[in-house]
Amino acid sequence: MKIFFSVGEPSGDLHGANLVRALRSRKSDIQCVGFGGPRMAAAGCELHQDLTQLAIMWIGRALLHLPKFFGYLRQADEYFERERPDAVVLIDYPGFNWHVARKAHDRGIPVFYYGTPQLWGWAPWRIKKMRRNVDHALCKLPFEEQWFRERGVNATYIGHPYFDELRERKLDTPFVDALRSTEKSPLVTILPGSRTQEVKSNLADLLKAAKLVRQQVPGTRFAIASFKESQAAMAKARVAESGLDCDVHVGKTPELIDAASATMAVSGSVSLELLYHTKPSVILYRVSRFAYAVQKRFRLVRYITLVNLLTATDLFPRKPAIYDPASPEDAHVLMPEYLTSEDRTEDLAGHVVEWLTDDQSRQSLVDRMSELKDRVAHGGASERAADYIVRELEHLGREAA
């Protein structure tokens, strides 16, 4: 049995690696090939290209890489024709994966989308592509199965694969202990994102907010969790410019979250990790004025943070707005979030200062996060997805026989 993967995000590489291992544990003869990243390669997937090197944002930057994407798409289609894999598994990365799905579908190869794109939040008109070219939509969030099924897509909720990784992860305990025991002053971890463009757009504001926190809570320590060395070098340069005393670490994100009293983070799947560790966190996503206008036109949900979506009672309001800390409508929000083209550093700092100085407020938030964690942070998504894929392919095999 041969399965072709197409994965382009660092987080997708993580989920893909877990799925590859789960599949191979069920059928030792399964061959996993295709596009992915280093984690998938380490799990036993034969990579044709490392797409995670092209994890980009916004149409302007994507256009610069169009020749590469067309080349990879042609390579995938030639492989489909030549090797006829038993299935194609897509993970996130919809801009490219829509085309991979179409090529596979046109050749009669079953397509599984593991971790469906969040069409309900920004592009419901693309449901036609999902309905036409995806045979099995495996959903990460509880409300997605019904949303997709109501629109004619064969969808199944299997849980969020990120929690699989979190439940299995082993922390560098000595490093965490050192962070906690060096001083009794609180540690605030800064999480500027896994994409270089996110770091460029958000880190300056996060450092500015950190300086405001330090002014109001003297002695507060800060540490930046960088995804890779090149981003760490960028972070160190920004830290030097800011004049803030702040450590920068690579490959220590779980430990820096675990040791923190609070965090300031860029929006992304890291919010699920923050929930898992029940860390009070404020979320930033700084974009250009043009990008802000574009998202305002197309966004269909009030929140950009997955954790906040999981607590919302009205997922799809008639007139979506953005989070407002003063609004009773947002009283349920666990992670204050700021999607903005303006300076909101005072707001960021205000939340962190409250958590560092008001024990009752902080504990109330932690208790609410714990309740949600107990409801949604269950592992097993990779196992359920592997069972589903193997079961469906074996069923197809019996029908063909």
> Residues 294, 318: one domain?
yes
> Residues 155, 265: one domain?
no
Please check whether residue 174 is in contact with residue 248, taking contact to mean a CB–CB distance below 8 angstroms. Answer: no
> Residues 150, 27: one domain?
yes
> Residues 270, 137: one domain?
no
> Residues 340, 388: one domain?
no
- What would you report as the CA-atom Rg of the chain, rounded to the nearest whole angstrom? 21
The DSSP secondary-structure symbol of 26 reads: H
Domain containing residue 281: 172-376
> Residues 148, 183: one domain?
no
> Residues 299, 213: one domain?
yes
DSSP string, 205-240: HHHHHHHHHHHHSTT-EEEEEESSHHHHHHHHHHHH
> Residues 240, 343: one domain?
yes
Domain total of the chain: 2
> How many CB atoms sit inside 10 A of residue 162's CB?
25
Residue 12 within any structural domain of the chain: yes
Per-residue pLDDT of the chain (401 residues; tens, 9 = 90+): 999 999 988 888 989 999 999 999 999 899 999 999 999 999 999 999 888 776 554 444 445 556 788 889 999 999 999 999 999 999 988 888 999 999 999 999 999 999 998 888 878 888 999 999 999 999 999 899 999 999 999 999 999 998 988 888 899 999 999 888 766 789 999 999 988 889 999 999 999 999 999 999 999 999 999 989 999 999 999 999 999 999 999 999 999 999 999 999 999 889 999 999 999 999 999 999 999 998 888 888 889 999 999 998 887 777 778 888 888 889 999 999 999 999 999 999 999 999 999 999 999 999 999 999 998 888 899 999 999 999 999 988 888 76
Please check whether residue 187 is in contact with residue 260, taking contact to mean a CB–CB distance below 8 angstroms. Answer: yes
The pair of three-digit structure tokens given for residue 358, joined into one six-digit string: 């008001």
Alpha carbon distance 221, 272 (integer Å): 24
3-state SS assignment for residue 32: strand
> Residues 106, 131: one domain?
yes
Residue 389 within any structural domain of the chain: yes
Residue 167 within any structural domain of the chain: no
The pair of three-digit structure tokens given for residue 11, joined into one six-digit string: 């987080």
Condensed to tens digits (0 to 9), the pLDDT of residues 68-110 reads 888 899 999 999 999 999 999 999 888 889 999 999 999 999 9
> Residues 89, 122: one domain?
yes
> Residues 385, 312: one domain?
no
Q: Which residues touch 176 (CB under 8 Å, ≥6 apart)?
A: 255, 258, 259
Condensed to tens digits (0 to 9), the pLDDT of residues 276-331 reads 999 999 999 999 999 999 888 888 888 999 999 999 888 777 777 888 888 888 99
Residue 165 within any structural domain of the chain: no
The CA-atom distances, in angstroms, between 360 and each of 43, 242, 323, 357, 365 are 44, 32, 23, 9, 9
> Residues 151, 198: one domain?
no
